[in-house]
Structure 1
């Protein structure tokens, strides 16, 4: 991972996690209920700030916690960080 950290996403208010969109509930992203979490993950697919959100969550694992960020779970973000680290190590040799 780079030494630079992604800034917190600049939300416009049109994001599903901000309560926008059909039947979006802002609590889905932090819920422990699996149905809510799947709804959050699916809602992220149409989000205009998804890339910035994912970059922030990958660079700030403690702050992102167990919440859904850019349609990813904590476990998936950990997997992505490992994949990125392996790729970076290969590219630097």
Structure 2
């Protein structure tokens, strides 16, 4: 078992990252303008929270791409905060 619990986000197809006429390089670009455009595009979709949870739970799968408007470093920060705040397992 991998330890990942979050299900893949349920996209509606209206998300800019899912539309055929979108610019797919925005989400994976090294160009700061493209990445900024991806971050802005993600902010207005209801599936953003599901997307972020999945991305935090699957860091290897998402790599350096923008997911839910979050960069790899932001997701790492959130993962650390969540791990620190999570209740300890009962023995």
Counterpart-to-counterpart distance in 2, 1:57 and 1:4: 10
Q: Which residue of 2 aligns with 1:61?
A: 59
TM-score (norm. length: structure 2): 0.84
CA contact (8 A) 2:9 2:47 kept: yes
Residue number in structure 2 paired with 1:16? 16
Structure 1, gaps ≥5 residues long: none
TM-score, normalised relative to structure 1: 0.83
Asked if the contact 1:19–1:26 (Cα under 8 Å) also holds between the matched residues in 2, the reply is: no
Q: How many residues align?
A: 87
RMSD: 2.0
Structure holding more helix per residue: 1
Q: What's 2:5 paired with?
A: 5
2:42–2:48 CA contact under 8 A, matched in 1:
yes
Task: Please give the alpha-carbon distance, in whole angstroms, between the structure 1 residues aligned to 2:15 and 2:45.
Answer: 6
Secondary structure at 1:51 match in 2: helix
Contact 1:44 1:50 in 2 (8 A): yes
Displacement over 3 Å in runs of 4+: none
Alpha carbons 1:28, 1:40 under 8 Å: kept: yes
Contiguous gaps of at least 5 residues in structure 2: none
